[in-house]
């Protein structure tokens, strides 16, 4: 080192200033108000605990409701499938019975018993 240059001018920045900060430093905040009415920030709060319990209960309640609705829907679809199968069985039975009493030369027609042509009722 050159004795004419002061050592302070070479090492102007201290080690703490030369560090590269990955996180941005938070600015300091002054909290107004007395110490008596301020709860510690991370401390126990009955209000927060009750709110969390309420949210957990509500979530559980809705999960149960969704399961019930899924069960009702599954049973409803099963009943519709069974009802459709029963209707087809009834039509087949009627066709067999009608074929026993059918007049040769006349065809069998069940257009009045068709599922698609049945009356529709609209409630207003």
pLDDT tens, residue by residue, 65-105? 999 999 999 998 888 888 888 888 887 877 777 766 666 65
The residue ranking higher by pLDDT, 100 or 29, is 29
Handedness of CA 67, 73, 78, 82 (dihedral sign): positive
Question: Which one, of 105, 110, 67, 68, lies nearest residue 87 by Cα?
Answer: 110
The residue ranking higher by pLDDT, 25 or 118, is 25
Q: Is 91 exposed, middle or buried (0-12, 13-18, 19+ CB in 10 A)?
A: middle
- In the chain, domain spans: 48-101
The residue ranking higher by pLDDT, 38 or 56, is 56
Task: Flag the least confident range among 36-50, 60-74, 109-123.
Answer: 109-123
In degrees, rounded to 5, the angle at the alpha carbon of residue 78 between the alpha carbons of residues 74 and 80 is: 120
At residue 118 the predicted structure's pLDDT band, cuts being 50, 70 and 90, is low
- Alpha-carbon distance of 83 to 77, in angstroms, equals 10
């Amino acid at each position: 080192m050159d004795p004419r240059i002061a050592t302070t001018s070479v090492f102007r920045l201290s080690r703490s200033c030369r560090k590269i900060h990955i996180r941005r430093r938070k600015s300091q905040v002054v909290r107004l108000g007395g110490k008596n009415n301020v709860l510690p920030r991370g401390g126990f709060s009955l209000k927060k605990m009750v709110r969390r319990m309420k949210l957990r209960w509500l979530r559980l309640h809705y999960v149960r409701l969704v399961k019930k609705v899924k069960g009702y829907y599954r049973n409803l679809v099963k009943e519709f499938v069974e009802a459709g199968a029963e209707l087809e069985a009834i039509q087949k039975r009627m066709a067999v019975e009608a074929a026993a009493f059918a007049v040769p030369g006349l065809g069998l027609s069940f257009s009045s018993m068709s599922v698609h042509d049945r009356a529709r009722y609209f409630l207003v």
